[in-house]
Chains A and B, each alone.
Chain A
Amino acid sequence: NAGVTQTPKFQVLKTGQSMTLQCAQDMNHEYMSWYRQDPGMGLRLIHYSVGAGITDQGEVPNGYNVSRSTTEDFPLRLLSAAPSQTSVYFCASSYSYARKSSYNSPLHFGNGTRLTVT
């Protein structure tokens, strides 16, 4: 099992450019989410999805877009990159609370995408 796979591992963008961070999981998890990790701020939730076709905003959604067309994939789109979006982005997945007790289903994280916006 590959678990949660994020691509690319590193990316440098210029201000105003757009890009898509890819996330795929092979564990048949219903729930997927995106976090960003910044020094002194911890991990903060950007967007999440409880299943294909369903997405919702987290704490810091501005400047990001998501869609969930399949159970396996949950891409994060930066519409017009800004230096404030320089961060490490983590995708995470788990079984949904509706399917089984998620207290026994921890979030599985990918290894992150390191994004620099100049």
Chain B
Amino acid sequence: QKEVEQDPGPLSVPEGAIVSLNCTYSNSAFQYFMWYRQYSRKGPELLMYTYSSGNKEDGRFTAQVDKSSKYISLFIRDSQPSDSATYLCAMPRDTGFQKLVFGTGTRLLVSP
């Protein structure tokens, strides 16, 4: 069983839709939960992160963590074609944001 599972997609939505991206994980020691965005032929870039359970909002993006279910989500409101990318969840193995365990990524396509 992989430590972090993520549906690879692709997930296709029309512009303006609300998008829900999800990951499950098996390691209960994970404390920080991160979302990276990766455009085609580019490196990942950190979108946002949360600590422990709860919600965190940043503009059109909301990250949600449910540690009891080992389930994390990223919601994108009013999705735009520029949001078309692969979204990767990631968790640090230990103190610091450096040794990360990544999900496989979900490819999102937002059509105009």
Contacts and interface: CB of A to CB of B under 8 A. Distances in A.
Nearest to B46: A106
B88 A31 contact: no
A105 B44 contact: no
B98 A4 contact: no
Contacts of A45: 99-100
B96 A43 contact: no
Contacts of A80: none
A94 B97 contact: yes
The bracket for how many chain B residues form the interface is 20 to 34
Nearest to B5: A42
Contacts of A86: none
Interface in A55-96: 58, 90, 92, 94, 96
Given A42-B105, A43-B88, A58 B41 contact: no
A25 interface: no
B43 A90 contact: yes
B97 A102 contact: yes
A42 B98 contact: no
A42 B97 contact: no
B97 to A, nearest CB: 5
Nearest to B98: A31
B111 interface: no
Interface in A1-53: 4, 31, 33, 35, 39-45, 48
A46 to B, nearest CB: 11
Interface of A: 4, 31, 33, 35, 39-45, 48, 58, 90, 92, 94, 96-97, 102-103, 105-107, 109-112
30 contacts: A41-B104, A42-B6, A42-B102, A42-B103, A42-B104, A42-B105, A43-B88, A43-B90, A43-B100, A43-B102, A45-B99, A45-B100, A90-B44, A92-B43, A94-B98, A96-B96, A97-B95, A97-B96, A102-B96, A102-B97, A102-B98, A103-B96, A103-B97, A106-B34, A106-B97, A109-B44, A111-B41, A111-B42, A111-B43, A112-B43
